[in-house]
């Protein structure tokens, strides 16, 4: 296992969400102290949204300058903008509507009633990423290479499916194989809804830190395979590797197939 991979065990779902929220607040504060602003990529799912809710409920959130936090999404369901299935709406209810965020810094993937098709939604997000990346590049006095396809991601949160999918990159499907683009349309998702938009594995792996958050016994096999170094085409989670750190934040049930000596426990 890579030395920059860290596995942290939590006794329950609630502790996992609360601890991940505290960890996120601390990381955003650290990055803001270094760079003035910070960027986080959000995920949906039960743990992802519970984590955002725990951030909202934490008194420590008041220490973060939310007006200088950039928000992106790792994937989105291609459904109408007001659909309760949208990660965007769930994230807004859980956290974004309660903080002093700059609307220009919250980057949503287009909904089905906003653009013609899922391919257009993916193209729109590629454009948003490119504009932000170019802005960063133009303001970086030390930059010597051409502008990247995506901006700097300080923390990228990922949920985990029982089949080991991350974002909307599913085993053996075109999305997990995609190269050379930061965002892909998904038209045949095995998990409803069928149409989605997702960051690619290449884009995900530009993040400084990737945090894979998983809870429940139904995730145990996926966690075990992901940590075993399986081929990412079959086990997408195994391919997620942050530049500086990859963290697996899991609860007791999800840890059933992880060797005890690999884990650090949180109380």
- What mean pLDDT do residues 139-143 have? 74
Question: End-to-end distance of the chain based on CA atoms, in angstroms?
Answer: 24
Residue 142: other Cβ atoms inside 10 A: 4
The answer to whether domain 5-259 has CATH 3.40.50.1000 is no
Q: Tell me the β-bridge partners of 211.
A: 157, 247
pLDDT higher at 225 or 2 = 225
Least confident of 80-89, 113-122, 136-145, 176-185: 136-145
261 vs 225, more confident:
225
Q: How far apart are CA 95 and CA 70, in angstroms?
A: 14
Q: Which has more pLDDT, 145 or 175?
A: 175
| Alpha-carbon gap, residue 177 to 141, rounded angstroms | 35
Give the pLDDT score at 145.
79
Please tell me whether residue 251 adopts helix, strand or coil conformation: strand
- pTM for the model stands at 0.95
For the chain, the domains span 5-259
What is the pLDDT at residue 259?
Answer: 72
Structure tokens at 242: 């942050």
- So what's the pLDDT on residue 3? 67
Q: What is the pLDDT of residues 5-25, one digit of tens each?
A: 999 999 999 999 999 999 999
For residues 194-210, average pLDDT? 98
């Amino acid at each position: 296992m890579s030395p920059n991979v860290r596995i942290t065990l939590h006794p329950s779902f609630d502790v996992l969400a609360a601890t991940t929220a505290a960890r996120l607040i601390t990381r955003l504060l650290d990055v803001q102290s270094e760079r003035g602003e910070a960027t986080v990529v959000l995920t949906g799912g039960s743990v992802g949204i519970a984590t955002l809710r725990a951030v909202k409920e934490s008194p420590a959130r008041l220490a973060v300058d939310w007006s200088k936090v950039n928000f992106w999404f790792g994937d989105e369901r291609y459904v109408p903008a007001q659909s309760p299935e949208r990660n965007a709406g769930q994230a807004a209810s859980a956290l974004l509507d309660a903080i002093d965020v700059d609307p220009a810094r919250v980057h949503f993937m287009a909904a089905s009633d906003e653009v013609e098709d899922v391919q257009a939604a993916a193209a729109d997000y590629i454009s948003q990423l490119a504009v932000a990346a170019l802005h960063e590049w133009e303001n970086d006095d030390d930059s010597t290479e051409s502008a990247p396809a995506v901006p700097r991601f300080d923390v990228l949160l990922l949920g985990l499916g029982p089949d080991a999918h991350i974002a909307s990159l599913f085993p053996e499907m075109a999305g997990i194989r995609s190269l050379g683009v930061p965002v892909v349309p998904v038209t045949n998702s095995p998990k409803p809804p069928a149409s989605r938009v997702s960051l690619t594995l290449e884009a995900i792996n530009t993040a400084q830190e990737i945090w894979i958050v998983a809870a429940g016994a139904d995730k145990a096999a996926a966690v075990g395979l992901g940590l075993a170094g399986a081929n990412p085409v079959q086990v997408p989670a195994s391919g997620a590797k942050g530049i500086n750190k990859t963290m697996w934040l899991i609860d007791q049930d999800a840890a059933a197939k992880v060797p005890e000596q690999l884990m650090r426990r949180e109380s």
